[in-house]
């Protein structure tokens, strides 16, 4: 356990040192406060808009940003150390592969979690003071928790990439493709399926397909409780057949645990 914390501590400080933490926090805070205040600008008004509009815009924003940031933060975790030779050295220390991986995960995960909490928390506080509604806090709690899980999930996916390739530049390429597939292509494919194949897919079938993408689960978590006027596309259909929040969170957690387990498995079989 102490070994894990030593690694985690180092990774966390790396994140602070190379300004990742401050950048992510600032990006999240600026965007979320901006959306909170100016979300209604399109309809001609400036000022705090309704809670559900805000959460809907934040969720659509976060679903692109968080995976990208998590992948960028972690894609070189292993391949980078392999290239510089420190990976081999670390493994001659009394430190097991799973300890190293979990340590990195805790360290880099904390960066993402803390940045998400502070960045989006800022607009939660702002909104709470404006609206004075306790529902703001519960909504945002759900939003922030699911956002953190989304980030952790893509950190695990980034580790799989980082452990499967032997060059940093390749890892970067794969990270970008992964982001594109999960954040954009998957939804387009779903939509095409929905429109193109008549009666090809039921509502439950669609929802089940969405479980294959952590980004979509995140969307479902945050949009399912909203007025459907703020939601459209494939999601609106899926929401009608929606699963409970508990089930969705379980699915998200599975999307954190499974990539991590797979990453450990790959790491253990990796030729050094």
For other proteins, give the closer residue by CB, 96 or 247.
96
Q: Is 19 in the site for other proteins (CB under 8 A)?
A: no
Q: Is 95 in the site for other proteins (CB under 8 A)?
A: yes
Q: Return d(Cα 31, Cα 19) in angstroms, integer.
A: 18
Q: Is 6 exposed, middle or buried (0-12, 13-18, 19+ CB in 10 A)?
A: middle
Contact 103, 4 (CB under 8 A): yes
Q: Return d(Cα 155, Cα 136) in angstroms, integer.
A: 28
Write down how long the chain is.
272
Contact 158, 77 (CB under 8 A): yes
Contacting residue, 85, 132, 196, 246, with other proteins by CB under 8 A? 85
For other proteins, give the closer residue by CB, 197 or 272.
272
For other proteins, give the closer residue by CB, 94 or 196.
94
Q: Is 196 in the site for other proteins (CB under 8 A)?
A: no
Q: Is 88 in the site for other proteins (CB under 8 A)?
A: yes
Contacting residue, 42, 44, 94, 197, with other proteins by CB under 8 A? 94
* Alpha carbon distances (Å) from 202 to 182, 197, 210, 238: 22, 11, 12, 9
For residue 80, the minimal CB distance to other proteins (Å) is 10
> Under the rule (CB under 8 A), what is the footprint of other proteins?
2-3, 6-7, 10, 14, 17-18, 84-86, 88-96, 271-272
């Amino acid at each position: 356990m102490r070994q894990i914390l030593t690694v985690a501590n180092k990774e966390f400080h790396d994140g602070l040192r190379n300004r990742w933490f401050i950048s992510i926090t600032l990006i999240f805070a600026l965007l979320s406060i901006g959306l909170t205040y100016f979300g209604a600008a399109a309809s001609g008004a400036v000022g705090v808009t309704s809670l559900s509009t805000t959460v809907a815009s934040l969720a659509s924003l976060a679903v692109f940003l968080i995976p990208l940031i998590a992948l960028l933060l972690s894609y070189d975790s292993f391949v980078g150390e392999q290239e510089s030779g420190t990976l081999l050295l670390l493994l001659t220390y009394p430190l097991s592969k799973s300890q190293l991986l979990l340590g990195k995960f805790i360290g880099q995960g904390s960066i993402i979690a803390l940045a998400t909490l502070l960045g989006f928390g800022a607009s939660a506080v702002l909104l709470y003071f404006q609206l004075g509604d306790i529902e703001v806090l519960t909504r945002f709690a759900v939003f922030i928790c699911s956002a953190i899980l989304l980030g952790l999930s893509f950190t695990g996916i980034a580790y799989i990439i980082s452990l499967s390739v032997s060059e940093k530049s390749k890892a970067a390429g794969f990270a970008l493709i992964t982001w594109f597939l999960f954040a954009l292509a998957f939804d387009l494919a779903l939509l095409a399926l929905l429109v193109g194949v008549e009666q090809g897919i039921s509502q439950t079938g669609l929802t089940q397909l969405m479980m294959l993408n952590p980004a979509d689960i995140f969307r479902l978590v945050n949009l399912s409780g909203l007025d459907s006027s703020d939601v459209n596309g494939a999601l609106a259909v899926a929401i009608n057949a929606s699963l409970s929040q508990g089930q969705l969170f379980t699915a998200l957690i599975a999307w954190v645990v499974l990539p991590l387990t797979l990453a450990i498995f790959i790491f253990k079989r990796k030729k050094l």
